[in-house]
Structure 1
Amino acid sequence: MSKAFMLKPDLSYLNLDSDKALFQLNVAQLVEEALKNGEGTLADSGALAIDTGKFTGRSPKDRFVVCDALTADSVWWGDINIKFTPEHFDSLFEKVTSHLNQKDFYVRDAYACADENYKTTIRVVTETAYQNLFSNNLFLRLAADEVIGQPEWTIIAAPTFLADPALDGTRQSNFSILNFSKKMILIGGTGYTGEIKKGIFSVLNFILPEQRDTLSMHCSANVGKDGDTAIFFGLSGTGKTTLSADPERGLIGDDEHGWGSETVFNFEGGCYAKCVDLTAEKEPQIFNAIKFGSLLENINYFPQTRTVDFSNIDKTENTRVAYPIDYIENAIIPSIAGVPKNIFFLTADAFGVLPPISKLTPGQAMFHFISGYTAKVAGTEAGVTEPQLTFSACFGKAFLPLHPTRYAGLLGEKMQKHQVNVWLINTGWSGGAYGVGKRMKLAYTRAMISAALKGEFENIAFDTDPIFGLHIPVGCPEVPAEILNPRNTWTDPKEYDQKAAELALAFIQNFKQFEDYASDEMLASLPKVVENTH
C-alpha cells in the first residue's frame, strides 16, 4: 500500500508502529481505501455505504469505566457506568495495539467543542477507513496547517479484535471502555461507529460539569435570524436531528452541546442522522446532505441498483448517515450561539396520552428533565425491536458518568438565571397507544414548535391537564385544535384515562429514586393519581 501521501505521527505513547499509520487522509483517500479494502460500496448519491457488522447499535451492557483513584468516588456507578479494573484495561490495551500493529491502520487528529474556551483535542486510531471517515465527519476538523502534537484524548477502535471474557474482564467479545486517568477510550469487537462518538460525549459529560461548571447536554440546537437560540433535548428517535434541521433557522448542531456562561456550543463537527423512511419531501436538508463524503450505515439498495431504499429495514431500523455539519446549507460555523430563549423536551410517548405540546413551569421542567421519559425506539440499541417505556435521566442517562442531579442542578440554575421558556413536545403517538394510535404528524410538530419560537402562544388560553398538570394551548396555527388535547383524540375517553393513570404511576415509581434530592417545586410536579391498592 502506497504511503507517499501520509505523515507519520509519533505513536510511541500508544505502543503503535508509526510506519503503519495512514495519517490524516482526506475524504477522497479514505473513500478509496474503504473501497479497496472491501469495506463498502458507493451509492448513486456518491455517499459511501457500509455495514457495521454484528452490531448495528450501541451495546450499553458492554460499556465500562475504569475504576481508579480519579473515578472511584466521583463516577455514578451502576448499570450505566460498569466498573472495570485498571489491570484488565492495561492488558486489553496491549492486546489491541498488538492486533493493530499487524496491519496498516488509520489515524486522525481532530477536536471537540466549537467554543475555543473548551476545545478538547482528540486522536482517533481506527482499524478501518470507514471509521476514520466517520471521525472526520463527526468531530471538529483541524485547519490544514494545524498540528496538535500529543492529544488530550485518544480513541482506539478495532472491530475485528475480539476479547476473551474469561481473561479480559468483559461481558462478551465486544467492549467500549473509558479510562479517565489515561484519557483513553478503547473499543473492540464492534464496528458500530456510534460507540466512537458517544465515547467522547461521555468524556465531556464528566469533564465539563466537574471542571468547568458547564452543562453538557444530549440535545440539538438552532438559532433564529434574531439570535434566539433554541435547544431540543431527546433520546435517539424522538426527533432531535429532524426538528433542529429547520430551513428558517441556523443549525448549531444535532446531538451534543455545552451550555457555558455565555454560549451554547456544539461538541461536534457533523451530524449522525437516522434515515429510516427518509424522503426529500419530509427532510430535505438531511436528504440533500447524502452525497460524496457522507457515510451511510446498514442501508439497503433497491434491487440491481445503487439507489438507497430508505424504507428497507432488513438489517436494522437504526440506519444512519454521518456527514459534516457544513453539508447542511444553513449550518452556523463556528457552531456557537447565545444562551437559549426556548428549551424543548422531546418525548415519543408510546402510551399516546401526553399532549403534542405543553408549557412547563420551572418545577415541571426540572421534573421532566430528570425523568427523561420516552419510548426507546427500535434499532438504537441491540435487542430493541419495538418502542419500550423508558426513563432516561437528563434525556441521556446512558452517557452520564456523574449522578443525574449534577446535570439537573446546573440546568435549573441556568433556566432560572436566563428565564427560559420550556416546552414538552410529544412526537410519539396520538389517538391511542402504540399499535392503535398513529404517530404525530411531523408537519404538526414543526408548526407547534414554530409557534412557540415566534411567541404565538403568549396570547392564547391554556387548559391544565388534570393528571400531569401540563399547560396545553387551546389553539395553534396550522394545527387542528382537536389534537392538542390528547384525550379528545381517543375513541373511548375511559381507555385514555386508564392509560394515562398507568403512565402517571410509572412516572411516580421512577421518580422515587430522586425524591431525596428534589425541591418542593419538583415534588409538586408529580402526576396526580391515586394508586389502586385493591
Structure 2
Amino acid sequence: MKNIQLTSLQQLGIFPQSLHYQLSSTQLQTHAMNQKGGVLSSTGALVIRTGKFTGRSPKDKFIVQDDLTKETVDWNEFNNPISTDQFEVIFQASISFLNSHPQLYINDVYAGADKDHRISFRIINQLPAMSLFVANMFIALSSQLPPFTEPDWHVLVAPDLELNPEKCGTRQSNATVINFKRKIIIIAGSGYTGEIKKSVFTVLNYLLPLQKKVLSMHCAANQGADGATALFFGLSGTGKTTLSTDPLRKLIGDDEHGWSAKGIFNFEGGCYAKCMKLDGNKEPAIFNAIKAGAIVENTPFFKNTNQINFDSDAITENTRVSYPLSHISNRVIHGTGKAPKHIIFLTCDAFGVLPPLSRLTQQQAIYYFLNGYTAKIAGTEAGIKEPKPTFSACFGAPFMPLAPMVYAGLLQEKLNHHKVKVWMVNTGWAGGRYGVGQRIPLAFSRLMVTAILSNSLDHVSFTQESCFRLNVPDYCPDVPREMLLPRNSWDNQEAYFLQANELITHFEANYQRVIQPKGVIPAGLPMGR
C-alpha cells in the first residue's frame, strides 16, 4: 500500500499489524477460505455465513445529531439520533478493535457512475469475504477512475466488535453509525454485508438531494435497444432484480440509482440479489452470475456435497448472492442512461385485490411512492401467520435520511418535466388472498412489463376499477383477460370488496400516521370505497 494511503489511516488512528490493499477477487477468496471464512461451491462462488445477523438491523442505525443534521434529517425509527460524544466512544472502540486485529483489508472504491456526482470511499474491515463483497458491489478504480489519495468518506467495519450499549448510547451491541460532519461510517457487531451497502446508500440519499438536487432512488434500471430507460421501484421480494434483469434489455443496475439533469446513473458496480428458490430456467442471468468472484450468503449445501441448495431456508429466508455487474453480459457498461420513459412500481399484494397491471395518474404515482406498499406473507418473518401490509416511504424508508416529501417533490418535478408514464405491477396474488388465490405467474408479470416497455398498451382502452380507482388495461398481449381486473378472478365478490376495503383502510392509516404529519396533505385520497 502506498505511503500516502497508510498516512491517511494513521491520521484516523489506525496502525495496522498487517494490511491488504485492493486484493483481487481470487486473492480475497483464497484468504477467506484459509481463514475458514467461506467454502468454495461447485459453481466457483464463495459461500459464507454472516453469523448472528442474516439481514439488516434498521433500528440499530444511528446518525450523529449536530448542527449539520439537526434540522435536515427526518428523525424517526430508522434515523436514530446519537450525540457527538457517544460517536467518539464508538469511534475509539472501533479504532482500538481494528488495531488489535492481526489483518485488515482495505478497498478504495467509488459510489456513483456519473463523474459529476460520484463519491469516493475507503472501506476498512477485518474480513476478506466482506472485502470481496465491497469489491463486487461498488465501482472499482480503473484507468478512467484513477486512485485517490484521500477519500471523501471512511467506512470502518468491525463485525466482531461488541459495543457496550450503556456507554455508546446504542440499543444493543451492534450498530451502524453515520457522522456526516466527520464523513465517517462505523459498522460494528454485525457480519451482514448488506449493512455496508445500505450505509453508503444512506449517505448518498442525504447528500445528493440536498447538495445537487439529484433524486436518489431505491430502484432498478434497464435500457432498451433504442436507448429508452425504465425504472423499477419495489421493496424486497417484489421482483425488482428479477424483472429488471431482462434478456431483451440491458441492465443499468438492480437496486440504487440517481436521477440528475443529465439522466439516470447507477450508484453501484454490482448486484445483491435474493436467491431463495432461485431457478436457472426462470432467472438464468442471476443463476449464471453465481460463479468465481460471487459470494452466496447463508445458503447451505446439499448433504455431503458442495452444491448450493437454493431451496433451503434452514439458515434464513433472506438468502443472498453478491456479484459484480461484469457477471451480467447484457449490461450497460458505463452505468448511465437517459431520463426514463417508464417507471414501474412493483408490489406483492398478498391480499389479492390490487390489479396485476395498472396505469397511474401523477397524483396516484406520488401517493403510492410516498406509501411504498407491499405485503409480507407467512414464513418470511417470525410470527407472521397472515398477510401483513408493509409500508416503506419512497420504497426505502430505512435508508432515507430526509423527509419523504423531499424525494417525492423531486420525483414530481421530473415526472412533469419528462412526461414519464408511471405504472404499477402487482406480482402477488390473484383470485383470492394468500392461502386462497394463486400467486401471479412470473411469466405473466414479465409479459406485462414487456407490454409496458414496448409501448404495446398505447392504443389499448382502460377501465377504472371501483375500489382503488386504478386504470386497468382491457387487454394485455398473451395475458388472460379475466386476470386483469381483480374482482373478475374472485369467486366470492362480497369477499373481494371486504378485502379491498381492508387494504384501503391500511393505506389511509399509514398515510395519516407517517406522511401527513410531515405536512403533506393529499388533494383527496386517490381511492374509492
Instruction: Tell me which residue corresponds to 1:35.
Output: 33
The equivalent residue for 1:514 is 515
The alignment partner of 1:316 has SS state of coil
In structure 2, distance between residues paired with 1:140 and 1:493: 52
Give the match for residue 325 of structure 1: 325
Q: Which residue of 1 aligns with 2:139?
A: 140
Change in CA separation of 1:190 and 1:325 when aligned onto 2, cut-off 3 Å? same
Q: Percent identity?
A: 47
Give the 3-state SS of the residue equivalent to 1:54 in structure 2: coil
Q: Which residue of 1 aligns with 2:496?
A: 496
- CA distance, structure 2, for counterparts of residue 107 and residue 96 of structure 1: 15
Counterpart residue number, 1:445: 445
Alpha-carbon distance in 2 for matches of 1:381, 1:261: 40
Between the aligned partners of 1:28 and 1:237, the Cα distance in structure 2 is 31
Question: What per-residue deviation string (whole Å, max 9, x for no partner) do you get for residues 385-404 of structure 1?
Answer: 87531111111111110000
Counterpart code for 1:37 = Q
Aligned to 2:523: 523
Alignment of 1:451-462 (within 5 A): 451-462=451-462
- 2:98 is the alignment partner of 1:97: no
CA distance in 1, matches of 2:511, 2:254: 28
Partner of 2:45: 47
For 1:514, the aligned partner's letter is I
Q: Structure 2: how far apart are the matches of 1:386 and 1:334? A: 44
For residues 292 and 523 of structure 1, the distance between their equivalents in structure 2, rounded to whole angstroms, comes to 53
The structural deviation recorded for 1:523 is 2.8
Instruction: Name the CA distance, whole Å, in 1 between partners of 2:214 and 2:382.
Output: 32
Aligned mates of 1:376, 1:408 — CA distance in 2 = 24
Kept in 2: contact 1:223–1:252 (CA 8 A): yes
Query: Secondary structure, in 3 states, of the residue corresponding to 1:514?
Result: helix
Offset at residue 383 of structure 1 (A): 7.6
Name the structure 2 match of 1:353. Answer: 353
In the TM superposition, what is the alpha-carbon distance from 1:331 to its structure 2 partner?
A: 1.0
Alignment of structure 1 residues 71-150 onto 2, 5 Å:
71-102=69-100, 103-143=102-142, 146-150=146-150
Residue aligned with 2:209, SS: helix
- Provide the rounded CA distance (Å) in 1 between the counterparts of 2:383 and 2:160: 21
Q: Secondary structure at the match of 1:10?
A: helix
Matched-pair contact (CA < 8 Å) for 2:350–2:376: no
Counterpart for residue 532 of structure 1: none
| 1:340 Cα deviation from its structure 2 partner | 0.2
CA contact (8 A) 2:351 2:387 kept: no
Mapped contact 1:357–1:424 kept (Cα < 8 A)? yes
Alignment of structure 1 residues 37-436 onto 2, 5 Å:
37-102=35-100, 103-143=102-142, 146-376=146-376, 388-436=388-436
Deviations 1:306-356 (A, max 9, x none): 111100111011100000011101111110000000000011112111000
C-alpha contact 2:405 2:520 (8 A) present in aligned 1:
no
Q: Secondary structure at the match of 2:8?
A: coil
SS at match of 2:342: strand
Cα deviation, residue 49, structure 1: 0.3
2:156 is paired with a residue of what secondary structure?
Answer: strand
Measured against aligned partners, the alpha-carbon deviations of 1:158-178 in whole angstroms (never above 9, x if no partner) come to: 111001112211111111111
Conservation of the 8 A alpha-carbon contact between 2:374 and 2:390? yes
Q: Deviations over 1:89-132 (max 9, x none)?
A: 11111111111111211110000000111110011111100100
RMSD: 1.9
Letter of the 1:209 counterpart: P
Q: For residues 245-301 of structure 1, what are the alpha-carbon distances to aligned partners after superposition, in whole Å with 9 as ceiling and x for unaligned?
A: 001001000000000002100000000000011111010000000000000000011
Distance change (3 Å), C-alpha of 1:120 and 1:385? farther
Change (3 A) 1:207 1:382: farther
Q: CA–CA distance in 1 between the matches of 2:120 and 2:459?
A: 47
Question: Which among 7, 10, 13 is matched to residue 8 of structure 2?
Answer: 10
What is the rounded CA distance, in whole Å, between the counterparts of 2:39 and 2:320 in structure 1? 15
Q: Structure 1 length as normaliser, TM-score? A: 0.95
**AA aligned opposite 2:128:** A
Alpha-carbon shift at residue 524 of structure 1 (Å): 3.4
Q: TM-score, normalised by structure 2?
A: 0.96
2:377 and 2:158 mapped to 1: Cα distance? Answer: 28
Stretch deviating more after TM superposition (141-150 or 357-366) = 141-150
1:154 is displaced (CA, Å) by 1.2
Name the amino acid aligned to 2:263.
T
Partner-residue secondary structure (3-state), 2:410:
helix
Q: Shift of the alpha carbon at 1:20?
A: 2.4
Q: Quick one: distance in 1 between partners of 2:294 and 2:516?
A: 45
Question: 2-side partners of 1:274 and 1:127: how far apart?
Answer: 25
The Cα offsets for residues 361-388 of structure 1, whole Å up to 9 and x where unpaired, read as 1111111111111114689888878753
Q: CA deviation at 1:62?
A: 0.7
Deviations 1:395-446 (A, max 9, x none): 1111110000000000000001000000011111112112222221111001
Amino acid at match of 2:104: F
The number of residues matched between the two structures is 524
Please tell me the residue identity of whatever aligns with 1:90: E
Any gaps of 5 or more consecutive residues in structure 1?
530-534
SS at 2:132's partner residue?
helix
Q: 1:369 to 1:58 in 2, by over 3 A?
A: same
Q: How far apart, in 2, do the equivalents of 1:8 and 1:517 lie?
A: 45
In structure 2, relative to structure 1, the CA distance for the partners of 1:11 and 1:443 (3 Å cut) is: same
- Measured in 1, the distance between the counterparts of 2:28 and 2:123 equals 14
CA distance in 1, matches of 2:515, 2:169: 32
